[in-house]
């Protein structure tokens, strides 16, 4: 099975692990991830300005390349996933925007939101299946208490992302169970880590990320797992907590027995 | 040839503003058979009706066409008017120029053209109308009330009071409903049980009231005045006629770890149990999901201790059939499930409770004997945060779009009771709006704020985080001071939205009544017929029709009873003469009509016919029971040989209308 894979810029720089383990694990699961040619930055943050098409063009471009290749599009970075899925939703539901985007990009045939977009976790759940994934685990992380951290971008806005319940999600916990570990449920798992505010007001980001880490720790977590490079940064650098924070793909690679030593 | 009169109504400006009524009357004058045509401002008024009556007499009219509003509105009015001067009421047709023309069009020229066409169709139909005589069908003098909460109880008491037999069907082992679980009632703060249980006992002792507890409606047949209902009496494994409610079995039952639904699963009950002390009927029930005897065949303690031999492990569901003249629906409500609102940590902390759970926590018969203690560690809470509108007034798919109506008042009640009993407790109430219309309601809320010092904060709670020190970290916004609030609470109480009971929808299908998108039963008219359903003989009582507090529920329950009594008082009701009939000579006995009839009005009989060659032959032909037929017309469409026809809406009449429209 081949999927069009959109790594995004951060996975080429700060979050190489997220990318590398995503590819290794996918291969172990019999899925080939192929990058489209000449992809560009997704835009980084989704612009809520709805009458401006320019900020949505690069996301639209990669959506269209996936359509041309006739394959679903997979992303793993929470921010890329958020931008690309919201853009796709907008193109499907906002005719004026779809018209502008198609005009800007000069697309022929037109792109009208035909591409199916998966987050890597959704691919595991809906394409591979968590039960099938569990069968392929060679190195189950038995007894490990892992707290899933969703952050804000992975699930919201739920209407456009339609991935899981934004306040009471289960997808990451099901993933943790599939790789043999025990999920820790804690209330801050769907709250914000501080996000980009760390650039401007470190104290604020530190307050947010430490609230998340404290809650996870208090509920008995030995490790926090996330899909988002920015979350990982904030939780590691700004929270003051010593609890390890890793990417979902790293844990997956470990469970599937394909993890090599990281170069970073 | 008919002599037809045409009467075009202005309906004030409702029709006249968009339809040139004078032109319509003038044009229709030229239709064949029309001997009189006029227009008037309000045809339904006394003087309007007199115009019709006078014209019938003066012009010897044999048919009347009134071009006005929907026949649902005034067909009965006009039929009565023409009947009063000796014309058969079924010689009248209404052309709907309001709902189907003036209200939906803007252009006068096209609307006028359409009005003329609608008038022509009605005239074409009247040409083929034949006088019809309505028959009568008897009314069974017994009512059924579905649901035994306060709504059902009140309706049953009122109907019984008028001298009619009434059955209550309650799906739980006891009547009482939600009100039995409530601690105190607003705005007077009297104890709910003290005012409810006497009514429950009154219902049980009333000779006219028959309670089928732990029963459900399995099937409904028939029509107004003559319903046949199949009642499923679910197996309770205790013989109702023998059990005295002594409670010995519940004391001796070894299975003591069953979640107690009456106390919102906050404590445990035994496998054989009586729901609560004042249950009616006070009869035990064995829960087959937990009973060791029913599960593994080992135990039998209850059967040994029962001195009257009421325990029956082999009891089966029983079906009984009863006939009723009227049915009142009182299926009530439930709080919604809160799994989509986990920002309030309901699934994470036992100290986050719903308002109904708080009622039990504060009730003397509740898990803590009336002392308010945190469910987690049984300590006294010092800071309590109430969150209103949890799932109510939601614009997204996860909640309800409507206001649940009762939450503002019961939250004020909870806050006030807590402040009175435990003055060292700080109480915060987060609200979007405080909605307290109702007699003495706003005064009640103000008392909570002004006298009892409850902190009302306009804004919503965004997040509740349970901490290891046992506190609940509440993050909220105060919209008036534009501040973020952080409160360390001991308990959080969620005012969950209310929704109709899950049994309501399948019941609506059985009763062929309408529901709205939220599964509340739809009343026949939102203002003028609030307790009747659109289906004749089916009435609505309580929260099954929309969110309601107790005073409103009781008022509506009595209103529904009055409507039901009005029906039961009649010895017979006039039937609709527009029923199907079969031309036996054309019927080929195929059974198509019998299969599509939703009312079971068609049966097949073997009948002797004289054949052209002077022999006789027995043929199987359809026969319609006019008392059961509702005139829906499904059989006339299904009949392949054209033998089935509907009085008042015959195939030839419908085709004449179509021809007139297409002319």
CA distance B384 to B425: 7
pLDDT at A264: 44
Beta strands in B17-163, from DSSP E residues, in sequence order: 34-40, 63-68, 92-96, 136-138, 142-146
* pLDDT grade for B610, boundaries at 50, 70 and 90: confident
Q: Do A187 and B468 touch (CB under 8 A)?
A: no
B468 contacts on A by Cβ (under 8 Å): 218-219
pLDDT band at residue A262 using 50, 70 and 90 as cut-offs:
very low
Question: Is the CB of residue B354 less than 8 Å from the CB of residue B494?
Answer: yes
Query: B127: which strand partners?
Result: none
**Given B340, B345, B398, which is nearest A187 (Cβ)?**
B345
What letter does residue A235 receive in the DSSP assignment? I
In a domain, B573, yes or no: no
Looking at A5-14, A37-46, A162-171, B369-378, which range is the least confident one?
A37-46
> Which one, of B606, B603, B629, lies nearest residue B617 by Cα?
B606
| Residue that the structure tokens 């017309």 belong to | B633
B343, B465, B468 member nearest A167 (Cβ): B343
Q: Quote the minimal CA–CA distance from A161 to chain B in Å.
A: 14
| pLDDT at residue number A261 | 55
Residue B404 shares a structural domain with residue B512 = no
> Both A169 and A245 in a single domain?
yes
CATH of the domain at B387: 3.50.50.60
My answer on whether A105 and A169 are in the same domain is no
Chosen for mutation from A150, A155, A166, A168 (greatest number of chain B CBs closer than 10 Å) is A168
Residue B396 has pLDDT above 80, yes or no: no
Provide the b/e sequence for B44-77 (b: ≥16 CB within 10 Å). Answer: beeebbebbbebbeeeebbbbbbbbbebeebbeb
Token pair, residue B108, equals 């006068």
Mean pLDDT of B538-545: 97
Q: What is the pLDDT of residue B630?
A: 82
Mean local confidence (pLDDT), B269-284:
96
End-to-end CA distance of chain B: 20
The CATH number linked to A173 is: 3.40.50.1860
B465 → closest Cβ in A165, A168, A215: A215
CB contact under 8 A, B465 and A168: no
Give Rg (Cα) of chain B. Answer: 31
Q: Percent of chain A beyond pLDDT 90?
A: 88
Last residue of a domain, one of B446, B475, B499: B499
In a shared domain, residues B455 and B425: yes
Q: Is residue A253 part of a domain?
A: yes
Q: Same structural domain for residues B413 and B483? A: yes
Q: Is the pLDDT of residue B663 over 70?
A: yes
Inter-chain CB proximity B343 and A190 less than 8 Å: yes
Asked, for residue B659, whether it belongs to a domain, the answer is no
Contact B383, B473 (CB under 8 A): no
B465:A187 CB<8 A: yes
In a domain, A207, yes or no: yes
Whether residue B551 sits in one domain with residue B636: no
Q: How confident is the model at residue B598 (pLDDT cuts 50, 70, 90)?
A: confident
Is position B574 within any domain?
no
CA distance B377 to B380: 9
ipTM: 0.83
Shortest CA gap A89–chain B (Å) = 17
Contact B463 A185 (CB under 8 A): no
In a domain, A126, yes or no: no
B341, B396, B463: residue with CB nearest A187: B463
B105 and B167 co-located in one domain? no
- Beta-bridged to residue A146, according to DSSP, are A183, A223
pLDDT at B135: 84
Section B464-484 average pLDDT: 95
| Rg for chain A, CA atoms, rounded | 18
Write the pLDDT tens digit of every residue in B434-454: 999 999 999 999 999 999 999
Does a structural domain hold residue A12? yes
DSSP string for residues in B160-191? HHTT-EEEEE-SSSSS-GGGGG-SEETTTTEE
Predicted confidence at residue A226, as pLDDT, reads 96
Contact flag A191-B463 (C-beta cutoff 8 Å)? yes
Residues B209 and B299 in one domain: no
Instruction: Identify the pLDDT of residue B414.
Output: 98
What is the rounded average pLDDT of the residues B279-296? 96
What is the DSSP track for A72-131?
-EEE-SHHHHHHHHHHHHHHHH-HHHHHHHHHHHT-SSPP-S---EEEHHHIIIIII-HH
Nearest chain B residue (CA) to A185: B348
Percent of chain B whose pLDDT exceeds 70: 100
3-state secondary structure (DSSP) of residue A203? helix
Q: Residue B401 has which token pair?
A: 């779009």
* Helix (H/G/I), strand (E/B), else coil: A176: helix
**Tokens 């079906």 — which residue?**
B319
Q: Are residues B624 and B593 in the same domain?
A: yes
pLDDT digits (tens, 9 = 90+) for A155-213: 999 999 999 999 899 999 999 999 999 999 999 999 999 999 999 999 999 999 999 99
The number of residues making up chain B comes to: 663
User: Do B212 and B104 have their domain in common?
Assistant: no
Please check whether residues B212 and B321 belong to one and the same domain: yes
Residues from chain A that touch B467, judged by Cβ atoms under 8 A, are 215, 218
Asked whether residue B243 is assigned to any structural domain, the reply reads no
Tell me: do A154 and A78 sit in the same domain: no
- Å from B107 to nearest chain A CA? 31
The answer on A115 and A150 residing in a single domain is: no
E-strand ranges in B519-656 read 523-525, 529-533, 538-540, 572-574, 580-582, 602-610, 616-624, 644-646
pLDDT by residue (tens digit) across B612-640?
888 998 999 999 988 778 888 999 999 99
Residue B656 lies in a domain: no
Q: How far is B461 from chain A (nearest CA, A)?
A: 13
Strands (E), B343-471: 352-354, 383-390, 426-431, 455-458, 461-466
| A142 in the same domain as A71 | no
Query: Are A74 and A155 in a shared domain?
Result: no
Q: In chain B, which residues touch A (CB < 8 A)? A: 339-343, 345, 347-348, 396, 398, 463-468
| Nearest C-alpha in B relative to A216 | B467
Same domain, A153 and A91: no
Residues A213 and A106 in one domain: no
Domain boundary among B568, B601, B616: B568
Domain with A93, as residue range(s), is 2-120
Question: Residue B220 — φ and ψ, nearest 5°?
Answer: -130, 130
Answer yes or no: do A102 and A186 share one domain: no
Render pLDDT for B156-184 as a digit per residue (tens, 0 to 9).
Answer: 999 999 999 999 999 999 999 999 999 99
Measure the CA–CA gap between B141 and B226, rounded to whole angstroms.
9
CA distance B657 to chain A (A): 43
pLDDT for position B473: 95
pLDDT above 90 coverage of chain B, percent: 91
CATH number at residue B26: 3.40.50
Contacts of B398 in chain A (CB under 8 A): 165
- The residue of chain B with its CA nearest to that of A166 is B340
What are B500-530's pLDDT values in tens digits?
999 999 999 999 899 999 999 999 888 999 9
Q: What is the pLDDT of residues B310-332, one digit of tens each?
A: 999 999 999 999 999 999 999 99
A71 and A140 fall within a common domain: no
- Residues A71, A19, single domain; the answer is yes
User: Residue B101 domain-assigned?
Assistant: yes
Provide the shortest C-alpha distance from residue A150 to chain B (in Å): 13
- The first and second tokens of residue B52, run together, are 């019709």
Residue B590, Cβ density class (10 Å: 0-12 exposed, 13-18 middle, ≥19 buried): middle
Residue A144 has pLDDT above 90, yes or no: yes
Domain closes at, from A85, A120, A155: A120
Q: Are residues B358 and B490 in the same domain?
A: yes
Tens digits of residue pLDDT in B112-166: 999 999 999 999 999 999 999 988 889 999 999 999 999 999 999 999 999 999 9
As a whole number of angstroms, the distance between CA B279 and CA B611 comes to 69
Q: What is the pLDDT of residue B352?
A: 97
Query: What pairs with residue B268 in β-bridges?
Result: B259
For residue B462, the chain A residue with the least C-alpha distance is A191
Domain boundary, last residue among A59, A94, A120: A120
Question: Which range has the top average pLDDT, B488-492, B576-580, B620-624?
Answer: B488-492
Q: Is residue B654 part of a domain?
A: no
- If asked whether residues A157 and A215 sit together in one domain, one would say yes
E strand map for B302-407: 318-324, 326-329, 333-335, 352-354, 383-390
Model confidence pLDDT, tens digit, residues B170-221:
999 999 999 999 999 999 999 999 999 999 999 999 999 999 999 999 999 8
**Mean pLDDT in chain A?**
93
Same domain, B409 and B272: no
Report the number of distinct structural domains present in chain A.
2
The answer to whether the Cβ–Cβ distance between A168 and B347 falls below 8 Å is yes
Count of domains in chain B? 5
pLDDT of residue B129: 95
Check: CB of residue B167 under 8 Å from CB of residue B142: yes
pLDDT digits (tens, 9 = 90+) for B65-82: 999 999 988 999 999 999
Least Cα separation, residue A13 to chain B (angstroms) = 34
Question: Both B259 and B357 in a single domain?
Answer: no
CATH number at residue A56: 1.20.1050.140
Q: For residue B74, give its domain range.
A: 4-127
pLDDT > 80? residue B599: no
In B, which residues are within 8 Å of A218 by CB distance? 467-468
Q: Confirm if B179 and B586 have CB atoms less than 8 A apart.
A: no
Looking up residue B612, the CATH number of its domain turns out to be 3.30.70.3270
State the smallest CA–CA distance between residue A246 and chain B in angstroms: 23
Confidence check: pLDDT of B41 > 50: yes
Interface test with A, best of B341, B343, B399, B465 (most A CBs within 10 A): B465
The answer to whether the CB atoms of B339 and A168 lie below 8 A apart is yes
Question: Please, are residues A137 and A256 in contact by the beta-carbon 8 Å criterion?
Answer: yes
Nearest residue in B to A191, CA atom: B463
Q: Contacts of residue B339 in chain A, CB cutoff 8 Å?
A: 165, 168
Task: Decide if A165 and B340 are in contact by the 8 Å CB cutoff.
Answer: yes
Residue A128 lies in a domain: no
CA distance B210 to B225: 19
Tell which of A95, A120, A145 closes a domain.
A120
Residue B239 lies in a domain: no
């Amino acid at each position: 099975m081949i999927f069009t894979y959109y790594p995004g810029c951060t996975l080429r720089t700060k979050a190489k692990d997220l990318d590398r383990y995503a590819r290794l694990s996918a291969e172990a699961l019999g899925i080939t991830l192929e990058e489209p040619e000449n992809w560009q930055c997704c835009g980084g943050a989704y612009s809520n300005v709805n009458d401006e098409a320019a900020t949505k063009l690069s996301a639209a471009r990669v959506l269209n390349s996936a359509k041309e290749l006739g394959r679903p599009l997979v992303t793993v970075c929470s921010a890329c996933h958020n931008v690309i899925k919201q853009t796709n939703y907008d193109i499907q539901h906002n005719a004026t925007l779809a018209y502008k985007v198609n005009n800007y990009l000069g697309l022929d045939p037109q792109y009208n939101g035909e591409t199916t977009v998966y987050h890597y976790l959704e691919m595991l759940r809906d394409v591979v299946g968590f039960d099938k994934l569990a069968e392929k685990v060679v190195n189950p992380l038995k007894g490990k208490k892992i707290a899933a951290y969703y952050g804000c971008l992975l699930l919201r806005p739920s209407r456009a992302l339609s991935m899981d319940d934004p306040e009471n999600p289960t997808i990451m916990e099901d993933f943790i169970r599939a790789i043999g570990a025990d999920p820790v449920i804690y209330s801050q798992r769907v709250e914000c880590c501080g996000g980009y505010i760390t650039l401007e007001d470190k104290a604020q980001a530190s307050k947010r990320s430490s609230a998340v880490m404290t809650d996870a720790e208090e509920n008995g977590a030995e490790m926090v797992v996330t899909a988002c490079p920015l979350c990982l940064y904030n939780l590691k650098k700004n929270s003051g907590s010593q609890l390890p924070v890793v990417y979902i793909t790293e844990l997956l690679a470990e469970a599937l027995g394909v993890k090599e030593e990281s170069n970073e | 040839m008919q002599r037809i009169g045409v009467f075009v109504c202005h309906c004030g400006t409702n029709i006249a503003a968009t339809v040139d009524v004078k032109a319509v009357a003038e044009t229709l004058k030229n239709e064949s058979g029309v001997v009189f045509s006029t227009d008037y401002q309000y045809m339904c008024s006394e003087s309007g009706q007199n115009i019709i009556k006078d014209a019938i007499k003066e012009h010897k009219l044999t048919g009347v066409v009134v071009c006005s509003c929907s026949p649902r509105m005034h067909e009965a009015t006009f039929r009565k008017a023409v009947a009063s001067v000796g014309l058969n009421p079924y010689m009248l047709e209404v052309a709907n120029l309001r709902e189907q023309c003036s209200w939906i069009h803007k252009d006068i020229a096209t609307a006028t053209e359409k009005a003329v066409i609608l008038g022509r169709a009605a005239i074409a139909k009247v040409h083929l109308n034949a006088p019809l005589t309505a028959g009568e069908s008897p009314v069974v003098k017994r009512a059924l009330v579905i649901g035994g909460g306060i709504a059902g109880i009140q309706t049953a008491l009122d109907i019984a009071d008028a001298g009619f037999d009434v059955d209550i069907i309650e799906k739980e082992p006891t009547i009482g409903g939600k009100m039995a679980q409530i601690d105190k009632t607003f705005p007077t703060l009297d104890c709910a049980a003290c005012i409810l249980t006497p009514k429950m006992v009154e219902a049980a002792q009333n000779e006219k009231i028959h309670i089928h507890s732990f029963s459900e409606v399995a099937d409904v047949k028939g029509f107004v005045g003559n319903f046949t209902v199949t009642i499923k009496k679910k197996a309770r494994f205790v013989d109702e006629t023998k059990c005295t409610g002594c409670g010995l079995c519940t004391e001796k039952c070894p299975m003591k770890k069953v979640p107690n639904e009456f106390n919102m699963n906050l404590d445990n009950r035994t496998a054989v149990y009586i729901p609560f002390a004042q249950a009616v009927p006070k009869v035990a029930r064995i829960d087959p999901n937990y009973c060791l005897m029913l599960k593994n065949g080992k135990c039998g303690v209850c059967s040994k201790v029962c001195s009257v031999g009421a325990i029956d492990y082999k009891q089966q569901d029983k079906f009984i059939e009863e006939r009723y003249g009227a049915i009142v629906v009182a299926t009530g409500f439930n709080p919604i499930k809160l799994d989509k609102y986990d920002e309030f940590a309901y699934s994470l902390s036992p100290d986050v409770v719903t308002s109904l759970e708080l009622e039990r926590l504060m009730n003397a018969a509740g898990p803590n004997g009336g002392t308010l203690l945190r469910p987690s560690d049984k300590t006294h809470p010092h800071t309590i945060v109430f969150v209103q509108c949890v799932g109510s007034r939601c614009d997204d798919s996860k909640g309800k779009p409507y206001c649940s109506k009762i939450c503002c008042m019961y939250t004020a009640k909870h806050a006030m009771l807590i402040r009175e009993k435990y003055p060292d407790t700080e109480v915060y109430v987060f609200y979007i709006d405080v909605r307290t219309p109702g007699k003495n309601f706003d005064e009640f809320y103000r008392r909570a704020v002004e006298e009892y010092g409850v902190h009302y904060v306009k804004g919503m709670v965004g997040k509740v985080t349970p901490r290891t020190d046992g506190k609940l970290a509440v993050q909220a916004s105060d919209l008036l001071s534009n501040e973020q609030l952080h409160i360390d609470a001991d308990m959080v109480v969620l005012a969950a939205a209310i929704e109709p009971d899950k049994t309501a929808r399948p019941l609506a299908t059985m009763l062929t009544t309408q529901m709205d998108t939220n599964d509340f039963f739809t009343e026949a008219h939102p203002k003028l017929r609030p307790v009747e359903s659109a289906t004749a003989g089916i009435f609505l009582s309580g929260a099954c029709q929309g969110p309601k507090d107790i005073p409103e529920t009781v008022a509506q329950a009595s209103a529904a009873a009055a409507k039901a009594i009005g029906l039961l008082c009649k010895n017979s009701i006039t039937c609709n003469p527009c029923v199907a009939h079969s031309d036996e000579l054309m019927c080929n006995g195929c059974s198509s009509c019998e299969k599509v009839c939703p009312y079971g009005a068609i049966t097949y009989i073997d009948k002797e016919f004289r054949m052209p060659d002077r022999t006789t032959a027995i043929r199987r032909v359809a026969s319609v029971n006019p008392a059961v037929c509702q005139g829906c017309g499904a059989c006339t469409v299904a009949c392949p040989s054209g033998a089935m026809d509907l009085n008042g809406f015959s195939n030839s009449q419908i085709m004449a209308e179509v021809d007139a429209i297409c002319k």
